[in-house]
Structure 1
């Protein structure tokens, strides 16, 4: 069975409310959806959600790279030739991980559909009984974030993640306000998205010591592993690296420096499921617990991340929250309270609404 056609859709998904983190505010989410079709008519779906501040890619550049550089490499390839395909991708162009992820995810969807298996069965089987998701709260005034957090806890969410990383003094107030609002039982995670320096980070950790934070995520710039190491050495709470690790070489450096306790794996940073599995395996060898994070993907990227998270015991947490943040998605994802549901349907287990996808698409192309 060979790939005969690739379609690419540059779309924008409407958010329920603006998504605000330390370096950007998004009023809608630009995404690139890919559709692979074999000579026997089997369809596989993938997605790229680039972030120019993290992956070095824009929405427009990702579309162009897929159209002109990567998608042509798939024509007449077997969907199962995943190792060879990634070598072709990397030989053609360096970096561009979300562009590669868009096609990698679609390949796994194809493989699952061809074999009649859900993706998680192809990559490790069921390592967890369930996948709890947190609610993620954008940067706002402390009292607004506290009110959001309280509302989510009352709705049944057992894990709250808050975005910070603007002003350290205000961020301390945000963390304290949210912890007071959610009580002592609910898990609390803090993500600065590179927004602090070493001194600010140490101040925040010191002054929120009584807030029982599960971990502080990527407090300093991605390249500043020395500061991350120094923070980890004195922090009573765990430190998670996110933007500081894109690929296996980055993780080797983090492990060698003992710069972090935990790793946040994102398909859009790693280049898809195949390279993400390598990260998980190396992290497991180093006894470094992982999370599968989100760039706020649609149902397609979300379910790819969920299948990855389900397949590895070293992946202890996830943030498969994108579908909770959209007014309408390109496919249905089911949540039972704060637990994302994976079916035994083949591939990613999704029925993509192509009519709706086309209605939110700004430009598209096909390669065959």
Structure 2
């Protein structure tokens, strides 16, 4: 979800606009679909069975406005992994407004040592995609997503493609009054997740683990792989304050095979 910081970039087009919505246009009649052009449209039992596949084939996309802007946000604390250190995020925020007034938001995550794009490239390609969408009327959602895929192919533009698709599908889902988790067939609107601890000192790791333990996290993802001895000390420090937690160790290709085995043996108390 985009932060309020990101939303302020697009203050000329507020989400809570009072502009009346125009009727939706569908390629095929949807007699069983509850449609209300409102971001707060309730979900009825008839619409809850409507899935993404049906939406791909029946929803006609008409984009009123599409825009992208840089999303530069400093981190509260540095995020260090085996191969790099991150002090801020430099992503791309994307906003798409349909002619019915519904607005969707997307974000292209940019991490040059992981993603193929840097921020200038992502900004340029996102603008191309936004311009294309504004001139791409009366096509089904499936056809429009195909056009996006052709413009932003493969791994080369995967982050930008994800951000554009995210914003478009968000706007379309709001058009029919279905939350995304239900549209994609989810059985629940909650999930169980882990939380990540970056490469820090044993004392800092223990403090974070204790904090996350109190917040209810049972699985911790540990960034490791920079210093074998320090990694083992961090794991032992965390075990002392959160003895029942499960670990996910992410070395980001920082370990040799024998080092990975050594860490696991130490973790399980075998020398």
TM-score by length of 1: 0.52
Q: Of 136, 148, 151, which aligns to 2:208?
A: 148
- 3-state SS of 1:136 partner: strand
- 3-state SS of 2:199 partner: coil
Q: Distance in 2 between matches of 1:79 and 1:136?
A: 43
Q: Distance in 1 between matches of 2:139 and 2:219?
A: 37
From the superposition, tell whether residues 121 and 22 of structure 1 become closer, same or farther in structure 2 (CA, over 3 Å). same
Runs of 4+ aligned structure 1 residues displaced above 4 Å come to: none
**Contact (CA 8 Å) 1:3, 1:79: kept in 2 or not?**
no
Q: Distance in 2 between matches of 1:167 and 1:80?
A: 53
Instruction: For 1:317-336, list aligned pairs within 5 A.
Output: none
Q: Distance in 1 between matches of 2:253 and 2:146?
A: 31
- Residue 97 (structure 1) aligned with residue 138 (structure 2): no
Q: Distance in 2 between matches of 1:113 and 1:134?
A: 29
From the superposition, tell whether residues 129 and 117 of structure 1 become closer, same or farther in structure 2 (CA, over 3 Å). closer
Higher RCO (Cα < 8 Å, 6 or more apart): 1
Q: Distance in 2 between matches of 1:80 and 1:109?
A: 17
- Residue 28 (structure 1) aligned with residue 28 (structure 2): no
**Contact (CA 8 Å) 1:42, 1:114: kept in 2 or not?**
yes
Q: Distance in 2 between matches of 1:29 and 1:155?
A: 25
Q: Distance in 1 between matches of 2:251 and 2:159?
A: 22
From the superposition, tell whether residues 143 and 37 of structure 1 become closer, same or farther in structure 2 (CA, over 3 Å). same
Q: Unaligned 5+ residue runs, structure 2?
A: 1-60
Match of 1:192 in 2: 251
Q: Deviation per CA, 1:84-120: give whole Å up to 9, x if none.
A: 3343233334331110011111111111110011011
Match of 2:184 in 1: 123
Q: Distance in 1 between matches of 2:267 and 2:217?
A: 22
Q: Distance in 2 between matches of 1:150 and 1:79?
A: 54
TM-score by length of 2: 0.69
Q: Distance in 1 between matches of 2:202 and 2:176?
A: 50
- 3-state SS of 1:131 partner: coil
Q: Distance in 1 between matches of 2:135 and 2:158?
A: 22
Q: Deviation per CA, 1:29-57: give whole Å up to 9, x if none.
A: 22211011122322111111111111211
Instruction: For 1:152-301, list aligned pairs within 5 A.
Output: 152-183=212-243, 185-210=244-269
Q: Of 47, 58, 81, which aligns to 2:107?
A: 47
Match of 1:288 in 2: none
Q: Unaligned 5+ residue runs, structure 1?
A: 212-368
Match of 2:39 in 1: none
Match of 2:132 in 1: 73
Q: Deviation per CA, 1:244-263: give whole Å up to 9, x if none.
A: xxxxxxxxxxxxxxxxxxxx
Match of 1:225 in 2: none
CA RMSD of aligned residues (A): 2.3
Q: Which has the greater radius of gyration?
A: 2
Q: Distance in 2 between matches of 1:205 and 1:51?
A: 29
Q: Of 50, 54, 70, which aligns to 1:10?
A: 70
Match of 1:83 in 2: 142
From the superposition, tell whether residues 186 and 208 of structure 1 become closer, same or farther in structure 2 (CA, over 3 Å). closer
